[in-house]
Amino acid sequence: MDTTQSLFYPLAIISGLSSALFWYSYHFEMSKNTVVQYGGEEIGILKATSTFAATLGPFIGGLALTYFSFNFLFIASSILLLASVYPLFKAHDIKPRNSFKLSYLKPDKQRNRLYTAFIAIGTRSSGLDIVYPLFVFYILGNYFEIGVLASIMAFVTVAFYLLIGNYVDKKDYLQTLKLGSFLHSISWAIKGFIQNAAHIFTIGTYSAVSFMFIDLSHGKEVYEFASNTDTSSFLTVREIIVAFSKLFPLILFLITESFVITFTFIAFTMLLYAIPKQKSL
């Protein structure tokens, strides 16, 4: 193993720690500040804003990789990330009143459905962030073309976040969650049969829009539940389940070396969002 390869292990550990710290804090902040009746709209605005800001990211990244190198891209990204941290130091700190309770790791009627959905989150996350990009590069083989397609798809989805966020608030979010679960599952089932850039754009856009029904409905439900329970323990368990679930598609892909099988597995896990709510709730 050369020096470059050996760097992947400490970088993976650092990335895991930073992810755990950031996302726990992010969801804690959201659960304490989201207004339940407007949760879909609020989350939609937040998602639309971040998506719009990231619209040029893939395009610029594709240019950087085409004309420079991965090193240049990583250094530039690191500088931008460091700059974005500064406003956080100006924000008011919120100290959780609750400490982590091991009892939240045990099955519970009020939490089982959400915990199952967290498995779907982790599975989709690593599938979308790691396995699917490998598949797209295998199809296109061009960094710049990949970047352009990703930017266009991101731009198209911005308006849908605002529309669907408002729609979720007007409907029963459990019904929109089930709808999104079914529609998004279809997108993963057909991703393995993509053959060209047109397919990537069409199916990718459909996949992104269908996931919005899940993302906004589930987010609203999670923040509502977290605000009425031991927020610290609940969100800690969320991060644990999501982190472990990220391993499933990666292990499956390493064993089968099949994009179709891996994407089909992810498609089935998307249906976990549709598990009915317990009557006791």
Given a contact cutoff of 8 angstroms between Cβ atoms, the answer to whether 184 and 213 are in contact is yes
Least-confidence region, from 104-113, 146-155, 249-258, 265-274: 146-155
Rounded to an integer, what is the distance from CA 72 to the centroid of its chain?
A: 26
| Alpha-carbon gap, residue 25 to 15, rounded angstroms | 15
Determine the Cα–Cα distance for residues 159 and 233; give it in Å rounded to an integer: 35
Q: Which among 14-23, 71-80, 200-209, 271-280 has the top mean pLDDT?
A: 200-209
- pLDDT value of position 24: 77
Q: Which DSSP category does 229 fall into?
A: S
Reduce the DSSP state of residue 258 to 3 states and report it.
Answer: coil
Q: How far is CA 281 from CA 106, 230, 259, in A?
A: 17, 17, 39
The confidence score (pLDDT) of residue 59 equals 66
Mean pLDDT confidence for 212-232: 84
> How many CB atoms are closer than 10 A to CB 179?
16
Sequence letter at residue 14: I
Model confidence, pTM: 0.79
- Which of the 8 DSSP states describes residue 93? P
Residue with tokens 């599975």: 123
Q: Is the pLDDT of residue 281 over 50?
A: no
φ, ψ of residue 34 to 5 degrees: the values are -80, 130
The fraction of the chain above a pLDDT of 90, given in percent, is: 19
What CA–CA distance (Å, rounded) separates 120 from 272? Answer: 6
Distance between CA 22 and CA 125 in Å, rounded? 16
Residue 19 token pair: 């992810």
Residue 194 has pLDDT above 50, yes or no: yes
Confirm if 212 and 259 have CB atoms less than 8 A apart. no
Contacts of 41 (CB under 8 A, 6+ apart): 162, 165, 166, 168, 169
101 pLDDT higher than 80: no
Q: Cα 115 to chain center, whole Å?
A: 16
**The pLDDT of residue 280:** 42
User: Contact at 8 Å (CB) between 153 and 58?
Assistant: no
Residue 105: what pLDDT? 72
CA 119-122-123 angle, to 5 degrees, is 85
Cβ pair 209, 176 in contact under 8 A: no
The span from the CA of 236 to the CA of 83, in Å, is 27
pLDDT band at 97 (very low <50, low <70, confident <90, very high): low
Q: Could you read off the pLDDT of 228-258 as tens digits, one per residue?
A: 888 788 888 888 899 999 999 999 999 999 9
3-state secondary structure of 142: coil
Give the pLDDT confidence of 124-151 residue by residue, as tens digits.
999 988 898 888 888 776 666 666 677 7
Would you say residue 204 has pLDDT above 50? yes
Whole-angstrom distance, CA of residue 83 vs CA of residue 105: 37
Q: Which helix (H) or strand (E) holds 127?
A: none
pLDDT digits (tens, 9 = 90+) for 30-65: 777 766 666 666 777 777 777 776 666 666 776 777
> Which amino acid is located at 11 in the chain?
L
Position of tokens 């998506």? 51
Distance between CA atoms of residues 47 and 215, nearest Å: 9
